[in-house]
Structure 1
Amino acid sequence: MSSKDEKNLTQVVDKIAKMDEPRRSTMQRVHDVITAAAPTLKPRIWYGMPAYAMSASTPALITLRNDERLNLAITEKAAFRAAGGVDGQLMPAAWYFETVDDATEKRIAEIVRSVVD
């Protein structure tokens, strides 16, 4: 891991550590899921949010927000595929959550892998 990647990872971990409980634990769990599901993604801060990109110098593909609700989002920089079916041309791009159970963890991992595959 390069020194830039290490610095960026530290910034993301610090950002999560500054959150109040129980959100801190939830966001840490989501961070762990993202880094395990797509180890090639590099954590970084993107517009003040924990985010994940292909490199330290490329735009973020996935962001985590800690606003009124917790949010996992795919940025416009990710390759979008139309959802098809009843959703037509719409592409799901954001998911809100308050807690993470095993099923939600599995779905987050699927979403993250779909961005990097």
Structure 2
Amino acid sequence: MSTGEGTYEGFTAEERAAMKEHAQEGKKAARRASKADKAAEAERDVVAKIAEMQESDRVMAERIHAIVKEHAPELAPKLWYGMPAYALDGKVVCFFQSAEKFKARYATFGFNDTAKLDDGTMWPTAFGLTEVTPEVEKRIAALVKQSVA
């Protein structure tokens, strides 16, 4: 972060906390026994993280979790920097970031570069969310399907 005078103050407390969570997630994943155990425990971790969210974020994250599982079952749930995420071959394709996590005014549903969303020379990779309506559900389902096509 810049102070405006060209000095660097470092990461915010929220960013540092996310990095610590990411390190803990990696250690926990390395300790898991079988691939099936890893997948089941990762799913439980994501569901537990969603359950910890404040109500508005939790409702959206639960819907997104269900949409991803239904429309892109090949994506494996996992925690990523303390956020629910969905990976293909170990690489995160998409993720949900609660508004509360970074004290933002809206939640975010985003895609990493492994998502196959390319559309010309410029396309969106993150979407601000305040509510997951039926119309938004359809859009998320289409994006998730496209991301793994």
**Helix, strand or coil for the counterpart of 2:109?**
strand
Cα deviation for residue 59 of structure 1 reads 1.6
Deviation string, structure 1 residues 54-75 (Cα, Å, up to 9, x no partner): 14xx120101101311111111
Which of 107, 111, 115 is matched with 1:74 structurally? 111
TM-score normalised according to structure 2 size:
0.69
Aligned length: 110
Sequence identity of aligned pairs in percent?
32
Say which structure is richer in strand: 1
**Unpaired runs of at least 5, structure 1:** none
The structure that has the greater radius of gyration is 2
Cα deviation for residue 42 of structure 1 reads 0.3
Question: What does residue 93 of structure 2 align with?
Answer: 61
> Which ranges of 4 or more aligned residues in structure 1 deviate by more than 6 Å?
none
Which of 63, 76, 93 is matched with 1:29 structurally? 63
**Helix, strand or coil for the counterpart of 1:105?**
helix
Counterpart AA for 1:61: V
**Unpaired runs of at least 5, structure 2:** 1-34
Structure with more relative contact order (C-alpha pairs < 8 Å, separation 6 or more): 1
Cα deviation for residue 26 of structure 1 reads 1.7
Question: What does residue 3 of structure 1 align with?
Answer: 37
**Two-structure CA RMSD over aligned residues (Å):** 1.4
Cα deviation for residue 91 of structure 1 reads 1.8
